[in-house]
A and B are shown apart, each in its own frame.
Chain A
Amino acid sequence: MTDKARSTKLACRNVWKVFGEGAERAFAKPVQRSLEARLAALRDGGHVPAVADVSFDVAEGECLVIMGLSGSGKSTLVRCLSRLVEPTSGEVIFEGRDLMRLSRRELTEVRRHKMGMVFQAFGLLPHLTVLENVAFPLQVQGVGEAERRKRALEMVGLVGLAGREDAYPRQLSGGQQQRVGIARSLAVGPDLWFLDEPFSALDPLIRKQMQDEFLRLQRTLRKTIVFITHDFLEALKIADRVVIMRDGRVVQIGRPADLVLNPADEYVARFVADVPLLRVITAGDVEEPVGGACAAHGGVSRSTPIEALLARLADVAAVPITEDGALVGQVTSAGVMKAVAAASARADRGWTVERA
């Protein structure tokens, strides 16, 4: 797959964030114990290990989604990645440089040119108009008035707010405010884009509309994205890979289909329980070796969702999978049935029984 060819844009190594008074000292105590024991000791001491020993890579142009229940440390993790929150320990490597080692000055430069962030609570400046808000990151860099205005107008148009440039944030609806937040985060043309539950505060209909627009934007911009949500359906739509967090720790990282078909534990299984299975799994997930003679004619790619093949599978026994025109495998109705049955059996019997 092409993923391997892409270079790593952002990586974090053993990142910890412990909240509470004297957290540094409590964390620095020498330990040879397991992660569990260490977490328990921190919690007993009245500290909050919001992020515990998290490591992963994000490839250039990838969209990585972080999920987890409320309080599982998603926001804190993302703030560690941008150093809005100072990690207690660990490395964050962005384009080959350890962010932890940057001076405040250098960090400001990185933020000015390479990073953008969208916030759940919008974070718009109440005293500035839409246009001024979008131009704000350029203004603090010292970009000239005309250039700033041109760029901001472009961004405002990009998110579909043309005509509302002179409105103030309080005069906008939630969806419009978040569009401003998105435009602002894109104004400097960042390589790395953080979004912390950008659509959670919006109504379901607006949320759907915003998701579609986000996808449209991403198709043209191709940014490297770290996106937080606790809506798995949202993750499904946009994610290349999903990180599931629980109590500050990463429980599982994988493609959405991996999580559905092979959840690492009950927590993940419950997360993905209500997912429309056929929309998630792809031809590649239920691929079988080609048995007898099967024509490559009408082949589909591995990433085709099964949902799209249902009509064909109702008529024929197998649909061929091709890669670069060559036949590599097939999807059969029986194979699909097996995957569905396994997943629903797991849901019926309950995860713990299955494990035992």
Chain B
Amino acid sequence: MSVLDIGRGEAAPMRLRLEPAAVVWICVALLILWCETAGGGVAALHAFPKAWTLPIATWIGDAVAALIGPTQGFFRQITAALTLPLSALQAVLGGAPWVITTAVAVLLAFRAKGARLAAFTAAVAAYVLVGGYWAPTMNTLAAVALATPIAVLIGFGLGVIGYRHAAARHGILVLLDLMQTVPTFAYLIPILVLFGFGPVVGIIASAIYAIGPMANNTMLGLAQVPLAVREAGEMSGCTRRQLFWRVEFPSARSQLLVGVNQTVMAVFAMVIIAAVIGGADDIGFRVLQTMRQAQFGQGLLSGLVIALLAIVIDRTTAGFAAASRAPVRRLSSRTLTVIACALAALYVAAWLQPALDAFPTEWTYSPAEALNRWLLAFVARFGDVMIAIKNSAIFFLMLPLRIGLIKAVSPFGWGFTLTPAMIAGYWAVATIAAGAALLFGGRWRAAFAILGVAWMLFLGTTGVAWPGFVAVVAALAWQVGGARLGAFALAAMAFIAFSGSWGDAMQSLYLCALAVVICVAVGGALGVWAAENDHVSACLRPVLDTLQTIPQFVLLIPVLMLFQVGEFTALIAIVMYAIVPPIRYVEHGVRNVSPEVVEASRQMGCSRLQILRHVKLPMALPSIMLGLNQTILAALSMLAIAALVGTQGLAQAIYVALSKADVGKGLVAGLSIALIAMLSDRMLKAWSRRAQEALGS
């Protein structure tokens, strides 16, 4: 046997050997070729045949209906039970003199982060008061104040269970994963059906939505308690309860507070979004109303309230979390007395002087009308430019990707029709490029990638044969993550196809894919620039912080103003939201390349560009891929919100289902998005892991 091996070993270099992965890809290519040529006439290869779909949505709808029957009373009771504390909170916050509320907020901000945040908070309060948004703002805060403790308590409980019991942990992680990826509107629907309509339902939805970050941070924080600390506690003779409350819980405190910060922000974002279902006069509802009535001046002004509030809440809670890492400075009882006396004095003052209690309407001033006029003038002046930008993006970028060059190239958009000669030329160029990659670089992966992109561009995401698309995704998943991931990819796509969402999914996919490509190209470049230049980094940071802090919903307003309803508007909104991760991760990755390696390559005489190209970027690859992953997740979550400004596909299906309270359809579309998100997440993580291993760390 060994003789035979040696003989083979010597002969091997003479032959061209095919890697098994290459064989798979050749099969995939042949399948696509067959689908698009020989099978070209078969309609079943392009649109997933209707006859094959299963009534999954109906099943889910029926199942939920069956569940609701006996349990609805219980859920409605929860709704009823929460109504009282909500009205109480609304009464307290709405009834308290504005001076007191403002003073408390400013004091909290000062305690959390110092004078600058306190000043900012005072300015925000002034804006809210003068703008006349006090009452809706207090209603929103009341909702946040009610939903946050619920989310924190449930999340903490889940986190503790997950930390304690390995068996439960797995289930909890899957649940959290689903909650993070199923779009918000999608699970508003079952909540709506279970709990009924009204403001309390929005609070319940927000509380459930925000459980995830708290549970995650609880598990993380408890797992991070150093073993020595826990053992020291045990050796000190702690009982189990003492060990938890006196050792583990305080040691995990900072991480728990980070969880509280994220939970508050999630609650806040969701309370705003829940305006879509709830009828309370809160600030989210104000924004939605103005958007529906196309009052952009009012929309901008009230959207700004949300953005500013988000920043104040985030910085204050984050400040408390960060402060807990340093030794606690306890307030002396004298300071506390002074504060209490000052607040009491303010209260008396507000009682004596009504202007300090309820902010007088004469003092408010809204530039909304002026803003509106100005915006109209702006649109009139630059409308042509806007339309030109929008149309060229639609004709040259979006349509080709969606319906393919073959349909998009028309006299209307492009000024000519595709002739057979042009088509032949297109494929000739693609084939030559792929051939060149294969022959001169020996890069068969690049060759297949070129052909694949050419195929997608030619037919568009909605035009390619679905068996081919399935094969490509499954093969990719198999290649980066092994057989299990391949199987998961097949199962996910089977769910999407058989539930009848294939067409919608491809519509959504093109929009997301385009947004992600733009984000990665622009964001990646900005990230590299920021990594190389401290000034750029310093300028970008507050912008990124703001984009990340303010609820997604608010981002829609300015874009909607400029470009009206449509997919282009959605695209821009998605890009605005999803551009943050690539900038952050690329900058982080490039900056954190080990200085020794950079120094060594500089010593070898590399130019700055060469260092970037050959050293920094390759070494930052794992981080960049994690950034790509976050970008995709962000794009998918924004896609769901962007349904408000008119998109086609899964997100729109959810939105429509929401308006009809159709649980089955909504959940099917929501799960489809969740599956796409999970699949891309798993694939990119697997890929990033490989890159990391290749770098040997």
Contact = CB atoms under 8 A, between A and B. Distances in A.
Interface of A: 79, 82, 84, 104, 108-109, 111-113, 115-117, 119-128, 136-137, 139-141, 168, 170-171, 181, 184-185, 188, 194
Contact of A123 (B229, B237, B253): B229
Contact of B226 (A112, A123, A127): A123
A194 B239 CA distance: 20
Q: 9 closest A-B pairs (Cβ-Cβ)?
A: A112-B237, A123-B228, A123-B232, A137-B236, A121-B228, A168-B327, A119-B228, A117-B235, A111-B237
B251 A111 contact: no
Given A125-B251, A140-B242, A171-B327, A120 B228 contact: yes
Contacts of B239: 108, 140
A140 B231 contact: no
B64 interface: no
A315 to B, nearest CB: 53
Nearest to B228: A123
B19 to A, nearest CB: 31
B236 A111 contact: yes
B247 interface: yes
Contacts of B234: 84, 111
9 contacts: A79-B231, A109-B237, A113-B237, A115-B235, A117-B235, A120-B228, A124-B229, A126-B250, A194-B235
Nearest to B328: A127
A126 B251 contact: yes
Given A120-B228, A184-B232, A140 B238 contact: yes
A113 B235 CA distance: 10
B223 to A, nearest CB: 16
Given A79-B231, A140-B239, 8 more contacts: A108-B237, A108-B238, A127-B253, A137-B236, A139-B246, A140-B236, A140-B237, A171-B327
Contacts of B250: 125-128
A128 to B, nearest CB: 8
A125 B238 contact: no
B237 A119 contact: no
A119 B232 contact: yes
Interface of B: 226-240, 242, 246-247, 250-251, 253, 327-328
Contacts of A104: 240
A136 B229 CA distance: 12
Given A125-B250, A126-B251, A168-B327, A119 B231 contact: yes
A140 B251 contact: no
A184 B233 CA distance: 11
B231 A123 contact: yes
A79 to B, nearest CB: 8
Of A120, A123, A137, chain B has the most CB atoms within 10 Å of the CB of A123
Nearest to A82: B235
B353 to A, nearest CB: 44
B288 to A, nearest CB: 44
Contacts of B232: 117, 119, 123-125, 181, 184
A137 B237 contact: yes
A292 to B, nearest CB: 58
A139 B238 CA distance: 9
Nearest to A185: B235
Contacts of A111: 234-237
Contacts of A136: 236, 246
Contacts of B235: 82, 84, 111, 115-117, 185, 194
Contacts of B226: 121, 123
Contacts of A171: 327
A127 B236 contact: no
A84 B328 CA distance: 31
Contacts of A139: 246
A125 B229 contact: yes
Contacts of B231: 79, 84, 117, 119, 123
A127 B242 contact: no
